Structure 1
């Protein structure tokens, strides 16, 4: 389902304001869908502070037609919204899972190249 959406909007709360950014899921397994950020970025700090996340996406954003009478016509598709808590995934767990999960091998590459990624792997949970 998410491969048809691709890019998603991830939202957090900071000082009673919603902060959104475009991101994507980096892999999945029986525990959930993984995303990551650098622990020293505002996104990670907001996740650590609140433990909350909202994720939204739509499968097709093209408008096929638009006229003054009937409004916009969208192609068939779907949208999704996930609201829940975040579980941070330790580096050791990602390294172990990457041995059998091709999608998470990129996470290992990123953690080796950008050490700030080592604490930034997360799974949305309690959705």
Structure 2
């Protein structure tokens, strides 16, 4: 599992990324970046005169997302579907608290990587520091064209300071699986592992796209957000028709 330093270094592969908060019931988003880390969490800064500050103080929550990939124009295949260069995104959500300036200066005495934060506040006195002190998140490494490996995804969930998280991927119920192979044929992510008595899903490869969930004849696949039976049956018919026409 990624530790705090690992998460920080992954985010730092791009200089700025998206920070989201809630403002009067609606999501708000802006570009910012983490500036330091330690055993207390991940640190970032904003100005006390900005709406970002007000929202952080009111909700004490934040979500952060960074995408690292080749800087290429969008391209499409012969069917008009998007093609994506390989890369990864990293995201987290968590609880934040403001760090007192005196506390920050004390940190800087013991850890030099906090000194730039102190200098920034001295230059811009409206600046303040927050720490994401509890969080969960995900590293989502993608190669959709399978140019560098035989599977599209490598996913890893992580957490810090006891924040709850859910493992990647759907789950096949052993007692309902009849090992018919329908899910294996439908999965384009190479996430289904064959077995004599039942199949299982490699969660780190699974995009949770719902193909296996749609085609399973015994309803053995547990989805994170189950569809209505009407929608599931419709998806079943559409996917089977597509698979038949693209044999």
Give the TM-score of the pair, scaled to structure 2: 0.47
1:17 to 16, 19, 26: 26
What's the counterpart of residue 7 of structure 1? 16
Is 1:63 equivalent to 2:78 in the alignment?
no
Give me the whole-angstrom Cα distance separating, in 1, the residues matched to 2:59 and 2:32.
19
Query: Greater CA radius of gyration, 1 or 2?
Result: 2
What is the correspondence of 1:27-106 to structure 2 with a 5 Å cutoff? 27-60=36-69, 62-63=71-72, 66-68=75-77, 69=79, 71-106=81-116
Partner deviation per Cα, 1:7-37 (whole Å, 9 max, x = no partner)? 1100111111111000111111121111011
Q: Quick check: 2:15–2:33 contact (8 Å CA) kept in 1?
A: yes
* Alpha-carbon distance, 1:70 to partner: 5.8
Unaligned runs of 5+ in 1: none
Q: Quick check: 2:75–2:84 contact (8 Å CA) kept in 1?
A: no
2:130 to 91, 99, 122: 122
* Greater strand content: 1
Unaligned runs of 5+ in 2: 1-9, 136-247
Q: Quick check: 1:5–1:60 contact (8 Å CA) kept in 2?
A: no
The structure, 1 or 2, with the larger RCO (C-alpha pairs under 8 Å, 6+ apart) is: 1
Give me the whole-angstrom Cα distance separating, in 1, the residues matched to 2:123 and 2:89.
34
SS state of the match for residue 110, structure 2? coil
Q: Quick check: 2:70–2:86 contact (8 Å CA) kept in 1?
A: no
- Aligned length in residues: 125
Give me the whole-angstrom Cα distance separating, in 1, the residues matched to 2:74 and 2:124.
44
Q: Quick check: 2:41–2:134 contact (8 Å CA) kept in 1?
A: no
Give me the whole-angstrom Cα distance separating, in 2, the residues matched to 1:61 and 1:71.
18
The alignment's C-alpha RMSD in Å is 1.8
Partner deviation per Cα, 1:65-89 (whole Å, 9 max, x = no partner)? 6124263333332111111111211
Give the TM-score of the pair, scaled to structure 1: 0.87
